[in-house]
Amino acid sequence: MPSSTDTPDAPDAPDVPDTPDTPDTPDASDASDTSAGAPAAAPPGARAADTGRGGTPWSRLPTWARRTVVFAALIAIWQAYASLSGVSRFVFVGPADVAEAFARGWANGDIAAATATTMRLLLTGMGIGIALTVVLTVPATTTRIGDDILTLLTSMINPLPSVAVLPLAILWFGLTDSALVFVTANAVLWPMTVNVSMGFRTVPATITMVGRNLGLRGWRLTRDVLMPAALPHAIAGLKTGWAFGWRTIIAAELVFGVAGAHGGLGFFINNSRYFARIPDVFAGLVTIAVIGIAFDLVFGWVERRTVGRWGMKEGAAI
Amino acid sequence: MTSTLYTRRQALRLGALGAGAAALSAACGGGAAGGSGKEIGIAIGYGISYAPFTIIQAKRWLEGELPDRTISWKIISGGGTVRDALLSGKLHLGCSGLGPLLIGWDAGVPWKIVSSLNDMPLWLVAKDPRFKSLRDFRQGDQIAAVQPGSIQSVMLQKAAQQQLGDPHALDKNIATMAHPEALEALLGGQIAAAYTSPPFQFQAVEQGARKLVDSYDLFGKHGFNVVAATEQYAEQNPDVLTAVHKVIARANDFITRQPAEAAKILVDAEKGKITAEQYEKYLTYEGIEFTTTPHGLVKLAAFMKEIGVIKKAPSDWRDVVFDTVRNENGS
């Protein structure tokens, strides 16, 4: 790469011919990623000069190295703010304290127990949500009245933020696990039905007709033809459903105080706050973030192993 | 074309920088605890425990003592939340039960008592006839309290220690609720029992609930709510602390001497369902005393330490108060 491109002072000259900078490039942060994968030698240089000072060596680093540096810098800023700003340690704590609280919380089982409670509630809610999704979408695909019911229900309930039904759930179920499971099931159900019914609806007519020619009708047509064909949408729906459910259960637990015999992560955070254990509050948040990331990775992996591998990815609305 | 792109990108970056700086300065401005601004933020809670403040508000006594300050009143439920608000600097004086106050003090929160508000008996009440004593509570039978660690929770732990042999036997039964919600949930049958405060416990009993635990049986006559501030605020605003203590003493005296008048003020301020006669009855209920002096603090702290809620207990009640009440006859 010519060194002249590195200097930000002369950006105009090399930039003109390559023109990867068409206005449809969404934003500057994407630039480094695309350049790393670009086959031609010239565009990365042009891009690097474009992204500013020291761009070239930075974008030549592997992704993990860049991310690690950014991560380390963020942690350093966090620690520096906590130790140098003079902020009260009952308002804000640094990463060292949080790491210690995180390790202690997992070692003595407090966070593990809270996580187990939250996961149990979430998975129960998701299980119910998935069952109801099948119950609602299959008739909607095969019958007109089912379709009408589903469309109406979805358009009425889907826009409602799922935690908004919590007061109603408390009224119906009291301050119990059932109320939390109810809001979680409600949170995962609607985004999933939207995705799954979209999947059913976008099954290519040819495939359906082949199925019909083989003599398949009703449930067998749904099970053997429509469901596999709608899989990319179903996985996307599951992913969205999980994301909604996860946010909802944590929010609901924060509202709730104690649910039944054991509190979940939301309760863990609130309880730590009541007892002025601020590092534990942060440790609870870190746990929530880590679990969120872990699940996203799992869904990504499932997606690659199934629809990605089977070449169905194009159909997925992700 | 490229040059226009450049300016657009630079403009974007500048914009992001500007937004970041604005957010940062806003955060820093809000984060300064203490401060000696003109505004005084005071938080009170639910119940007749805060009657002195209702009277101070109605009679504008604090404005009279501090003519160059503006006073903003807020209602915040639970000492833990009050503590967070005080530390964030948004609030300057707040009310807390002795439980959260001691928990915060134990954890190292730089706050102390400006003045006590009262001594009050706190009752655990249940409506379902199934509950005759703490022995009848099973897993899932919920007991409302303002928060875990509240003075009511500590009383429940003391009662559990006496009746069940394990102070933590009912910890998992505690459901966090503000007093008015707790009363409604109890009467609506959604929870097994409620550990609230006057007048909610009296109202519950009037509507068919029974008293299971009386805190005066556990600890003798003891203080309930106190007004707290951070050490930083106290250092910078000694005049505010003195004035607040003075008007509370004045209001307490007023309530004690003229409960009928005080009850009328409460009715006017609340516009609720409680009549002046009822309020007068509540204010003068046996065992209720409006006083600026903290009572029973050391005994309560010793118990909290004994059962592991706090790690260190003050040996002298004066360790957790400001100069405002230091010369009073506390315990």
> Which residues in chain B are closer than 8 Å to A21, comparing Cβ atoms?
2, 5
Q: Which residues of B touch A (CB under 8 A)?
A: 2-3, 5-6, 9, 12-13, 31, 33, 78, 80, 83-84, 87-88, 100, 103-104, 107-110, 139-140, 142, 147-149, 172-177, 185, 190-191
Looking at CA atoms only, how far is residue A287 from chain B in angstroms?
22
Nearest to A271 among B78, B108, B148 (CB): B148
A-chain residue closest to B24, CA distance: A81
> Which residues in chain B are closer than 8 Å to A23, comparing Cβ atoms?
5
Cβ-contact B116, B245 below 8 angstroms: no
**Torsion sign across C-alpha atoms B56, B95, A258, B133:** negative
Nearest to B103 among A170, A176, A276 (CB): A276
Looking at CA atoms only, how far is residue B199 from chain A in angstroms?
23
Distance CA B55, CA B266 (A): 7
Looking at CA atoms only, how far is residue A68 from chain B in angstroms?
23
Cβ-contact B211, B205 below 8 angstroms: yes
Q: Per residue in B133-175, pLDDT tens?
A: 999 999 889 999 988 889 999 999 999 999 999 999 998 888 8
Burial of B199 by CB count in 10 Å (0-12 exposed, 13-18 middle, 19+ buried)?
buried
Count of CB atoms situated within 10 Å of the CB of A297: 10
Backbone angles phi, psi at B189, to 5 degrees: 80, 15
**Residue A294 amino acid letter:** A
- Secondary structure of residue B66 in the 3-state scheme: coil
B-chain residue closest to A171, CA distance: B190
Distance CA B67, CA A243 (A): 53
Domain positions in chain A are 3-58, 61-92, 105-315
Distance CA A213, CA A176 (A): 51
Distance CA B296, CA B287 (A): 14
- Written as six digits, the tokens of A10 are 């002369």
Asked if B142 and A271 come within 8 Å (Cβ–Cβ), the reply is no
Asked if A21 and B100 come within 8 Å (Cβ–Cβ), the reply is no
Nearest to A275 among B5, B33, B103 (CB): B103
- Written as six digits, the tokens of A89 are 């340690």
Nearest alpha carbon to residue A94 among A282, A299, A310, A306: A282
Nearest alpha carbon to residue A295 among A129, A101, A118: A118
Packing angle of the helix pair B238-257, B51-59 (nearest 10 deg): 100
Distance CA A300, CA A302 (A): 6
**Residue B88 amino acid letter:** S
Distance CA B3, CA B291 (A): 74
A-chain residue closest to B172, CA distance: A261
Nearest to A174 among B5, B173, B190 (CB): B190
Bond from prior residue into B294 cis (ω within 30 degrees of 0): no
Q: Per residue in B3-12, pLDDT tens?
A: 555 666 677 7
Distance CA B283, CA B254 (A): 11
Third-level CATH fold of A105-315:
MetI-like fold (1.10.3720)
Q: Tokens 């029973």 — which residue? A: B296
pLDDT at A222: 81
> Which residues in chain A are closer than 8 Å to B107, comparing Cβ atoms?
90, 275-277
Cβ-contact B175, B145 below 8 angstroms: yes
> Which residues in chain A are closer than 8 Å to B3, comparing Cβ atoms?
12
Q: Per residue in A238-290, pLDDT tens?
A: 999 999 999 999 998 888 755 445 688 998 998 888 888 999 999 999 999 99
Cβ-contact B72, A266 below 8 angstroms: no
- Secondary structure of residue A28 in the 3-state scheme: helix
B-chain residue closest to A18, CA distance: B2
Nearest alpha carbon to residue B52 among B8, B96, B117: B117
Looking at CA atoms only, how far is residue A161 from chain B in angstroms?
23
* pTM for the whole structure: 0.75
Q: Per residue in B211-252, pLDDT tens?
A: 999 999 999 999 999 999 999 999 999 999 999 999 999 999
Task: Summarize the confidence of residues B311-319 as an average pLDDT.
Answer: 94
B-chain residue closest to A15, CA distance: B2
ipTM of the complex: 0.74
Residues in chain A with pLDDT values less than 50: 1-52, 259-260, 315-318
Q: Tokens 């809001």 — which residue? A: A183
- In order of their start, the domains of chain B are 39-120+223-326 (3.40.190.10), 123-219 (3.40.190.10)
Q: Which residues pair with B139 in a beta bridge?
A: none
Nearest to B140 among A16, A27, A261 (CB): A261
Distance CA B244, CA A200 (A): 68
**B96: CB partners within 8 A, 6+ apart:** B79, B82, B83, B104, B225, B226, B228
Distance CA A273, CA A284 (A): 11
